[in-house]
Structure 1
Amino acid sequence: MRAYYWPIAAAGVLAASAFMPWVSVGTQQFGGVPDLAALWVLVCAILAVVLAGLSIVTRKNSRHPLLLVGLCAFGILFLAEQLMQRSAAQQGWSTSQARAIVDGQPARPVLEPTLAPGTYVGLAASTAIALFGLTVVFKRAPQIQASATDDDV
């Protein structure tokens, strides 16, 4: 049952990543708890802590739900990161075009959005939770061996 401390630690890291920025463009940072996706990631982290804690207390196996929680958190983070990068690039482009129209000059090149540390931390933590839940699939098969008994006696 000590193995269930691994998803508890990963869920703590996942909860911390919900408060970090996920995408940055220059000095602007996007993502984090005010965002709806970050709240869902935080709910997944709390759910993972509750499931792992119940497994420790009741000594019952709950790896299937941990697999689902880890996969949901990974999917939310991955899709939110993709959407945030696209919307940040579009917002930067529209701001650049608006300034160019007002100033009467050609538009400046737009900064490309980059991933912030919160994305990397969250994806790693959700992967750890999902891999822990996946261990229920790969069980050690019992070794079937014939016993060498002398029945000629």
Structure 2
Amino acid sequence: LAAGFVDAATGAKRPPVTLGEVRIEQRRAAFDRRTPAQLLPTPAQFGTHALLYGYDRDETEAGDTLIRLYWEIMQPLLPPHHIFVHADDAGGATLAQQDGPPVTVTGPAPSGSWQPGEFLITEHRLRVPPDTVVNVGIYEPATTVRLPVTVDGQPAGDSVRLASTP
């Protein structure tokens, strides 16, 4: 990676400076659909970009909960968006959360790299307190605007409720 400089006053170009080497790799996309432990009754569509069709939930030895979300991608999503997984109490207060760019078992899967027809399984770790519900959504971090959710073509808010914890 090299940067060039131009003198603003004279317009003279200065020699470029080498900043370092950048390695660009393409993320491997998976096009085989896997079946989650928990299928949603009807897939939830986030904007025009992704369908959430199910999830798995496992308790780890450290006491955290590993939630895997199963997505079918419809189209890339730019600017890059984040996925949130919130554990909310009965009053709607978020007691635990994991927000961030999409990550799969094989590594980062930024929303701008999504490919139509691709299946993603994103992983989210958080400590889910008892007597909470888990809500999932997608948002643009710079604005915090969430993607709208539709189910069977009907508006369904801006998040999907997965399950209650005992």
Fold-level match, TM-score > 0.5?
A: no
| Structure richer in helix, relative to its length | 1
Which structure exhibits the higher relative contact order, with contacts defined as CA atoms closer than 8 Å and separated by 6 or more residues?
Answer: 1
Tell which structure's C-alpha radius of gyration is larger: 1
- Relative to the length of structure 2, the TM-score reads 0.27
| Structure richer in strand, relative to its length | 2
